[in-house]
Amino acid sequence: MKPDQLLRPAPAGLYCPAGDFYIDPVRPVARALVTHGHSDHARAGHGAVLATQETLDIMEIRYGVDFCGTRQSAAFGERIEVNGVTVSFHPAGHVLGSAQIAVEKDGLRIVASGDYKRGVDPTCAAYEPVPCDIFITEATFGLPVFHHPDPKAEMGKLITSLRQFPERSHLVGAYSLGKSQRVIRLLRDCGYDAPVYIHGSLARLCDYYVSRGIELGDLRPATVEKGDKTDFRGAVIVGPPSAFADRWARRFNEPLIAFASGWMMVRQRAKQGGVELPLVISDHCDWPELTETIRELAPQEVWVTHGREEALVRWCELAGLPARPLHLVGYEDEGD
Ligand SMILES: [Zn+2]
């Protein structure tokens, strides 16, 4: 079997000609395999969707019960036949339910990582290396300058700020799926046990995480209609970054804006967003994690997608590994 008979880039996404299905298609298709619930990977309107139970549940929460025609859940490690091609899902460590997808036929195995990270994250199953002939890696932070610090140390900065500015409401921007829950969990793991106030758009996903056994502590709605803004003095309020640009954010007492994202390593991004307290917390591999993963898997070939493709391709070539960029379009991760 030639690799491009098993997976190849196509306008709708990564396509498997042998099994007639797509992985994370960016437009509606008859049969989709979905790695995780972020909106650029998981879209509504497909005929049939195969994904982990958590990803299916998250898609239903976000898009409604009619998000696809038929659905099938895949347990981690379970081998499933799709039109004569064997597929299996394996933990990616990115967000709850996130998976790498292994696709194999006639002795050739390709693993599509989706988005993944190697660091500790108690809100999802840890990444598992899956031996393969061809590894498709993301490259969101695929430049040698990207080294993500210890997330607990980053969270320590927020705890310190809360002590230094006990009057100010600390508004933490975090994307609604994955990052918000991870930020809240990190706060708890750093010993913060006061109530955490959440923007309404996070409520259902936070409830879902809790229903899957991820402890988030005392969460309360960040509604100020009835009370007055001094109610939130010294409180932590978590919301999507978009909410901080509108009137909602100005209701809080002397708001201090923090933002949790891998991109907060780039000072210019923090400045542009008016972020007073950047927290470098990423749900993607940084450069050392990308290169260590490729070394560890030692595939025969590497295909690079989602982000800084060229630098990682070059690194692979220098390491003696054939590599190529996939140039897939339509992926702007919402959960960096
Ligand atoms: Zn993602």
pLDDT in tens, 58-74: 999 999 999 999 999 99
Quote the ligand 1 centre to 85 CA distance (angstroms): 25
Q: What does the pLDDT look like over 265-304, one tens digit per residue? A: 888 888 877 899 999 999 999 999 999 999 999 999 999 9
b/e burial code for range 130-159 (CB count within 10 A of at least 16 → b): bebebbbbbbbbbeeebebeebeebbeebb
Strand 85-91 and strand 236-239: the pairing is: unpaired
d(CA 135, CA 305): 11
Instruction: Give residue 179 CA to ligand 1 midpoint distance, Å.
Output: 10
CB neighbours of residue 296 within 10 Å: 10
Look at the domain 151-279 and name its fold: Rossmann fold (3.40.50)
Cα 115 to averaged position of ligand 1 atoms, centre (Å): 5
**42 Cα: distance to centroid of ligand 1 (angstroms):** 9
What is the 171 CA–ligand 1 centroid distance (Å)? Answer: 23
Query: Strands 108-112, 134-139: parallel, antiparallel or unpaired by DSSP?
Result: parallel
CATH class of domain segment(s) 3-145+284-325: alpha beta
Does the pLDDT of residue 159 top 90, yes or no?
Answer: yes
* Rounded-to-integer distance, Cα 59 and Cα 77, Å: 21
Kindly give the distance from the C-alpha atom of residue 159 to the centroid of ligand 1, in angstroms, as a whole number: 27
Model confidence at 76: pLDDT above 90: yes
Tokens standing for residue 193: 């046990």
Per-residue pLDDT, 162: 97
Query: Domain limits of the chain?
Result: 3-145+284-325, 151-279
Q: What is the pLDDT of residue 225?
A: 66
- Tally the residues of the chain: 336
CA of 103 to the centre of ligand 1 (A): 20
Structure tokens at 55: 């990803």
Instruction: Calculate mean pLDDT across residues 137-162.
Output: 96
Distance 275 CA to ligand 1 centre (A): 22
Cα separation, 311 vs 207, in Å, equals 39
CA of 256 to the centre of ligand 1 (A): 27
What number is the average pLDDT over the span 206-212?
98
Whether the predicted pLDDT of 318 surpasses 80: yes
61: left (phi over 0), alpha (psi -120 to 50) or beta: alpha
Token couple for 41:
């990977």
Phi/psi of residue 273, nearest 5 degrees: -85, 5
238 within 8 A of 202, measured Cβ to Cβ: yes
As to burial, measured by CB atoms within 10 angstroms (0-12 exposed, 13-18 middle, 19+ buried), residue 2 is exposed
Rounded Cα gap, residues 167 and 258, in angstroms: 15
pLDDT for the residue numbered 308:
85
pLDDT of 319 over the 70 cut: yes
Q: How far apart are CA 108 and CA 104, in angstroms?
A: 5
Q: Compute the distance from residue 332 Cα to the ligand 1 centre, in Å.
A: 9
pLDDT for 229: 67
- What average pLDDT is seen over the chain? 94
Ion ligand 1 — residues with CB under 5 Å? 38, 115, 333, 335
Separation between Cα atoms, residue 94 and residue 179, nearest integer Å: 9
CA of 25 to the centre of ligand 1 (A): 14
pLDDT, residue 231, reads: 79
Cβ proximity of 234 and 196 under 8 Å: no
CA of 334 to the centre of ligand 1 (A): 6
**100-136 pLDDT tens trace:** 999 999 999 999 999 999 999 999 999 999 999 999 9
